[in-house]
Structure formats: C-alpha cells, structure tokens
Amino acid sequence: MQDVPRPFDMCWCHWMAVPTGDQAGVMEVLGLLPSRPMTFAEAAEMADDDVHGLDNPHRLSRVFVTPEVDGWTLVIGAWCDPSDSGRRDDVLGLCTTLSVRYGSAQAYYFGGHVDGSAWLIAENGTVVRRYAATGEPDDALLTLGRPLPLEQEVRAAAGLPDGDPQTLSEDQRDELESVTFDLAPEIAAAYGVTPLTLSPGMKVRGTGLLALTPHPFG
C-alpha cells in the first residue's frame, strides 16, 4: 500500500524543496546516501527527535527524503537549515546547484513555538532571496536579494520600506522582525510544497528514504 503523506508538526522544522520527482538525482547533488525506506510517520518522529538538543549525534547526520509529492521532492532535517551558522554557506551552495539542474530549489527554517523563520530561494543558478528572522544578532547579515512579493506585502502593511534591514532604524528592524518571524510557512506554501501542510490527498510517487548526510556522525 502507498504511504500516505502527513504534516510534520515539529518544534523546529528545517527542509529543502525541489520541484522534481527525481529523488535519486536530488540525493546525488546533495551527496546523500540512502539508508532504508521510511514512512512519513516514521520520518516525522525521527526529525522531531533529532532537533531536540544541539549535541544530538543524529542532528546533522541524517535526513528524510520524501517520495515525489505533487511533483516535489522534500529533504527534511536540521542539515537543511539555511540560517544556521555552521550550515548556511553549504545550504546556499547546494540549493544554487540544485536550481541549475531543476530550475529552482529552496530551503527553510521554521520554529513552531515562536522561534523564528528563515528562507532561501534559488532559481537557475542564482540566489533570488535569503532572509532570516530568528532573533539572532547576525540575522541581517544573511540577507541576500530583494524582498519577495509576500515580504513586500507584510512590510507595506506595517508601514516599513522594503530595503536592506541594515539601512533601517533600530525600531524599524524590531518591527520587521516581528512581522516576518512566522512568515516561513506562508513563503514556502506560496512557492511550492511544504512538510508543514502535507496531507493524505496529495499525489505520491515512489518511496520515502532515510538518508545519511556527508556530515560525520557524532
């Protein structure tokens, strides 16, 4: 029986999204090694366990690679974090490379308990946008590209300009963080498929896989 998609309800969710059903090709670009088949339910439990504790030995060593879901392949796990200080450069490079092959590639972080958002969108080998609102001191330094249409809408509604966060006043930066802190799910849904809203009615082709990352275990 075909596995049924289910939403990932996690404290902290990190993922990449690629508009293709070429699961093997995505894994090849990312340097992932298949370990074993895994269901959505198993993956949701694993991913949630892995993000609890920065010293968790599995945190960066494994991910879940979905089967094709409505024409998309998702890679889910903390290794995909576009804003983490130890992962951001690699994730940017990997998404850029994926976008050369598949036209687009994205990476997201969302803290489900008011812990912030981050997004990275690459198209045809170019980073269109990277932005973080996580409450960390260097969030503004991650900003690349122009605000996306949805960002522009929330900024306009708050009376904020759409320029670089570093050009804003301190009060404006605080307000910008406030209106973008929970925006990742909306950005992700506007641009494709998100693990936060997976549902049984989605079209699935293939088998989900637990995969090992190039990051050393432990």
Residues 51-103: pLDDT tens digits?
Answer: 876 667 678 899 999 999 999 999 999 999 999 999 999 999 999 999 999 99
Query: Which pTM value belongs to this model?
Result: 0.93
Give whole-number Cα distances, 104 to 18, 27, 74, 80, in Å.
Answer: 6, 15, 13, 16
Write the pLDDT tens digit of every residue in 140-190. Answer: 889 999 999 999 999 899 888 877 777 778 888 888 888 899 999 999 999
Q: Give the Cα separation of 150 and 143 in Å (integer).
A: 16
Q: What is the C-alpha to C-alpha distance for residues 89 and 142, in angstroms, rounded to an integer?
A: 10
Per-residue pLDDT tens for 2-18?
A: 789 999 988 889 999 99
